[in-house]
Amino acid sequence: MSITITKNISPEAARDIFELQQKINAFQNGEMPEDKFKAFRLTRGVYGQRQLGVQMFRTKFPFGKITPKQLVRVAELSEQYASSNLHLTTRQNIQLHYVKVTDSPAIWAGLEDVGATGREACGNTVRNITASSRAGIDPDELFDVSPYAYAAFEFFLRNPICQDMGRKIKPAFSSSDKDSAYTFLHDFGFIPRLENGQRGFKVVVGGGLGAQAILAQTAYEFLHEDQIIPFMEAALRVFDRYGERVRRHKARMKYLIKEIGLEKFMELVETERTANKVKEFKVDTSKVDVGEPTHNNIAPQVELEHPQRYEDWLKTNVFEQKQKGYYAVALKVTKGDVKPDQARKIAELAQNYASEDMRITMNQGMLLKFVRKESLPYFYQELNKMGFANPGFDTIADVTTCPGTDTCNLGVTNSMTLGKILEDVILDEFYHLIFDSEIKIKISGCMNSCGQHMAANIGLHGSSIKVGELVAPAMQVVLGGGVDVNGVGSVGDKIVKLPTKRTPEMLRFILNDYETNSTEGEYFNDYYRRQGKNYFYTLLKPLANADLYVDDDFIDYDGISHFTPEIGVGECAGVMYDMVGGIIKDAENKFVEAKDHLSKHKYPEAIYYAYTGFVIAAKALLLGKDVECNTQIKILKDFDAHLVASGEFIIEDGFENLVLQINQFEPELAFAEKYVAQFHLFLKNVIAYREQKISGDKLVVESNYKA
Lowest mean pLDDT among 28-37, 368-377, 405-414, 578-587: 578-587
Query: For residues 295-329, b (16+ Cβ closer than 10 Å) or e, as one string?
Result: eeeebeeeeeeeeeebebbbebbbbebebeebbbb
416 has pLDDT over 90: yes
Tens-place pLDDT, residues 251-293: 999 999 999 999 999 999 999 999 999 999 999 999 999 999 9
The pLDDT value given to residue 571:
37
Backbone dihedral angles phi then psi of residue 220, each to the nearest 5 degrees: -145, 135
80 sits in the region (left: phi over 0; alpha: psi -120 to 50; else beta) called alpha
The pLDDT value given to residue 574:
28
CA distance 207 to 481: 14
CA distance 43 to 164: 9
| H/E element, 483 | strand 482-483
Query: For residues 5-20, b (16+ Cβ closer than 10 Å) or e, as one string?
Result: beeebeeebeebbeeb
Query: For residues 488-517, b (16+ Cβ closer than 10 Å) or e, as one string?
Result: ebbbbbebbbbbbbbbeebbebbbebbeee
| Residues 702 and 574 sit within 8 Å (Cβ to Cβ) | yes
428 has pLDDT over 80: yes
525 has pLDDT over 90: yes
| Residues 477 and 506 sit within 8 Å (Cβ to Cβ) | yes
Domain ranges of the chain: 11-63+86-112, 138-287, 307-386, 409-554, 579-704
CA distance 419 to 416: 5
35 sits in the region (left: phi over 0; alpha: psi -120 to 50; else beta) called alpha
CA distance 394 to 365: 9
The pLDDT value given to residue 481:
96
697 has pLDDT over 60: no
| Residues 508 and 479 sit within 8 Å (Cβ to Cβ) | no
| Residues 670 and 553 sit within 8 Å (Cβ to Cβ) | no
CA distance 615 to 142: 43
Architecture of domain 409-554: 2-Layer Sandwich (3.30)
CA distance 413 to 451: 13
Band (565; pLDDT cuts 50, 70, 90): confident
630 has pLDDT over 70: yes
For 70-101, give the DSSP string: HHHHHHHHHHHHS-S-EEE-TTS-EEEEEE-G
What homologous superfamily is domain 138-287 in, according to CATH? Answer: Sulfite Reductase Hemoprotein, domain 1 (3.30.413.10)
Tens-place pLDDT, residues 668-693: 999 999 999 999 999 999 999 988 87
Pairing of strands 65-66, 400-401: unpaired
In words, the CATH class of domain 579-704 is: mainly alpha
694 has pLDDT over 70: no
702 has pLDDT over 80: no
Band (36; pLDDT cuts 50, 70, 90): confident
Query: Of 476, 448, 439, nearest to 460 (Cα)?
Result: 476
Q: How many CB atoms lie within 10 A of CB 645?
A: 11
CA distance 356 to 291: 7
CA distance 232 to 667: 17
Secondary structure class of 368 (helix, strand, coil) = strand
Cα–Cα distances in angstroms (integers) from residue 609 to residues 164, 358, 658, 685, in the given order: 10, 37, 15, 18
Band (344; pLDDT cuts 50, 70, 90): very high
Secondary structure class of 339 (helix, strand, coil) = coil
CA distance 595 to 673: 9
Tens-place pLDDT, residues 57-107: 999 999 999 999 999 999 999 999 999 999 999 999 999 999 999 999 999
600 by Cβ neighbours in 10 Å (0-12 / 13-18 / 19+) ranks as exposed
Query: Of 479, 475, 528, 480, nearest to 497 (Cα)?
Result: 475
Tens-place pLDDT, residues 58-67: 999 999 999 9
| Residues 457 and 449 sit within 8 Å (Cβ to Cβ) | no
User: Tell me, what amino acid is at 63?
Assistant: F
Band (696; pLDDT cuts 50, 70, 90): low
| Residues 330 and 394 sit within 8 Å (Cβ to Cβ) | yes
User: Tell me, what amino acid is at 360?
Assistant: I
* Average pLDDT of span 286-301: 94
Share of the chain above pLDDT 70, in %: 96
The pLDDT value given to residue 698:
45
Looking at domain 307-386, which of 3.40.50.720, 3.30.70.3340, 3.10.129.10, 2.60.40.1510 is its CATH number? 3.30.70.3340
Tens-place pLDDT, residues 433-488: 999 878 999 999 999 889 999 999 999 999 999 999 999 999 999 999 999 988 99
624 has pLDDT over 90: no
705 has pLDDT over 60: no
141 or 559, which is more confident:
141
Band (35; pLDDT cuts 50, 70, 90): confident
Fold agreement between 138-287 and 409-554: yes
629 has pLDDT over 60: yes
Q: Is the dihedral of CA 231, 237, 241, 243 positive or negative?
A: positive
The pLDDT value given to residue 512:
97
